[in-house]
């Protein structure tokens, strides 16, 4: 099952179910006005939405206008982003000239959740000197997770999977990291691909509680990377359990994987510019790739071996704020 949100002038938009070919939709109706309301009452919402998906399979539905697609979850209560790819962590230590973080627990921070940009929204930034960078990753949306939930039990709470661009401002990040208080300015709003999907919809693309798909990224029309999400050192159930260790997680919490990264980065490329710069430091002693400029474009699309694109694409342009 694939879900999306159409812009309707309200902050949370209108929840719709999307056909397999992504050309048609059926709306959830008054009982299921938006995705946040649905995830808060998933036991009732899921069978109703599944019935709409079955109806779409018969050819029913209205034609989908991609221009109306917002982020599937335009805003929510909580966004927690992990860093579950060990290769990315190692390369970022080089990029920022930071010592290794000595822990056997997942890394995670709490970011901005009051908005997620839609898949084709222009993304405004104030100054290119801040080091504008994209970060391709995956995420899960959970229902209410009780404090102390184990990794084994966390699987039952993962209801939807999403694809995310976690925008970052790299020259601000090291300063905030050194304060010990976490990121505020270095982590603006993220973007989401148009479709949120159930794990079952991914088929073999959901394996060992990981998204086993290539995340294909083009920067200004040139291939930048196609790392695979299966290389997570910590699975999504482990990330959910970690997040719930000392708190209840409210329904609608989004938990991210962190930047998708593979040990074979020499052949598959990277999912963020900072990682490429770290690779250049290793090879040549200094980085040569600049961060993004106003007018630059980035496209991200997770693809299966059969060419399917379950989340659709993020295709955005960086613009100057104001």
What pLDDT, in 10s, does the model give residues 245-258?
999 999 999 999 99
Please state the rounded mean pLDDT for residues 191-212: 97
| pLDDT band, very low/low/confident/very high, at 89 (cuts 50, 70, 90) | confident
Whether 101 shows a pLDDT value over 80: the answer reads no
222 lies in the same domain as 193:
yes
On whether both 92 and 227 belong to a single domain, the answer is yes
Does residue 73 belong to any structural domain of this protein?
no
- What's the pLDDT score for residue 238? 98
- Span 84-97, average pLDDT: 79
Look at residues 45, 68, 91 and tell me which one is the last residue of a structural domain.
68
Structure confidence by residue, pLDDT tens digits, 152-165: 999 999 999 999 99
The domain total for the chain is 2
3-state secondary structure the chain: CEEEEECCCCCCCEEEEECCCCCEEEECCCCCCCHHHHHHCHHHHHHHHHHHHHHHCCCCCEECCHHHECCCCCCCCCEEEECCCHHHHHHHHHHHCCCCCCCCCCCEEEECCCCEECCCCCEEECCHHHCEECEEEEEEEECCECCCCCHHHHHHHEEEEEEEECCEECCCHHHHHHHCCCCCCCCCCEEECCCEECHHHHHHHEECCEECCEEEEEECCEEEEEEEHHHCCCCHHHHHHHHCCCCCECCCCEEECCCCCCCCHHHHECCEHHHHHHHHHHHHCCCCCCCCCCCCEEEEEEECCCCCCCCCEEEEEEEECC
| Rounded mean pLDDT, 287-297 | 97
Whether residue 57 is found in the same domain as residue 95: no
Domain containing 295 equals: 79-320
Across the chain, what does the average pLDDT equal? 95
Question: How much is the average pLDDT of 117-142?
Answer: 98
Q: Widest CA span of the chain, in angstroms?
A: 59
Residue 22 and residue 145 share a domain: no
Residue 309 has pLDDT above 80, yes or no: yes
On whether both 16 and 98 belong to a single domain, the answer is no
pLDDT for residue 95: 67
The pLDDT, as a whole number, for residue 134 is 98
pLDDT reported for residue 174 = 85
* Residue-level pLDDT at 96: 65
pLDDT of residue 104: 82
Mark whether 61 and 109 lie in a shared domain. Answer: no
């Amino acid at each position: 099952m694939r879900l999306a949100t159409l812009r309707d002038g309200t902050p949370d938009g209108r929840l719709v179910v999307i056909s397999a070919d992504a050309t048609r939709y059926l709306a959830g109706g008054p009982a299921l006005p938006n995705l946040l309301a649905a995830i808060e009452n998933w036991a009732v919402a899921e069978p109703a939405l599944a019935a709409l998906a079955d109806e779409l399979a018969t050819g029913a539905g209205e034609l989908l206008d991609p221009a109306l697609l917002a982020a599937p979850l335009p805003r929510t209560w909580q966004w927690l982003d992990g860093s579950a790819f060990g290769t990315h962590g190692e390369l970022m230590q080089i990029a920022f000239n930071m010592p290794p973080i000595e822990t056997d627990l997942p890394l995670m921070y709490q970011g901005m959740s009051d908005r997620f940009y839609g898949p084709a929204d222009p993304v405004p930034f104030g100054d290119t000197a801040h080091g504008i960078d994209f970060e391709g990753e995956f995420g899960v949306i959970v229902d209410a997770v009780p404090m102390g939930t184990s990794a084994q039990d966390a699987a039952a709470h993962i209801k939807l999977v999403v694809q995310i661009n976690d925008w970052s401002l790299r020259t601000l990040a090291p300063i905030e990291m050194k304060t010990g208080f976490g990121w505020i300015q270095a982590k603006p709003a993220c973007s989401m691909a148009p479709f949120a999907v159930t794990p079952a919809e991914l088929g073999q693309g959901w394996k060992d509680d990981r998204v086993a798909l290539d995340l294909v990224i083009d920067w200004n029309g040139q291939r930048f990377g196609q790392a695979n999400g299966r290389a997570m050192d910590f699975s999504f159930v482990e990330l959910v359990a970690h997040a719930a260790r000392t708190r209840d997680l409210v329904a609608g919490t989004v938990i991210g994987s962190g930047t998708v990264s593979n040990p074979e980065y020499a052949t598959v490329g990277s999912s963020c510019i900072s990682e490429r710069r770290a690779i250049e430091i290793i090879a040549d002693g200094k980085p040569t790739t600049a961060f993004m400029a106003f007018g630059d474009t980035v496209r991200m699309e997770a693809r299966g071996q059969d060419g399917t694109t379950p989340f659709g694409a993020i295709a955005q342009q960086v613009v100057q704020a104001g």
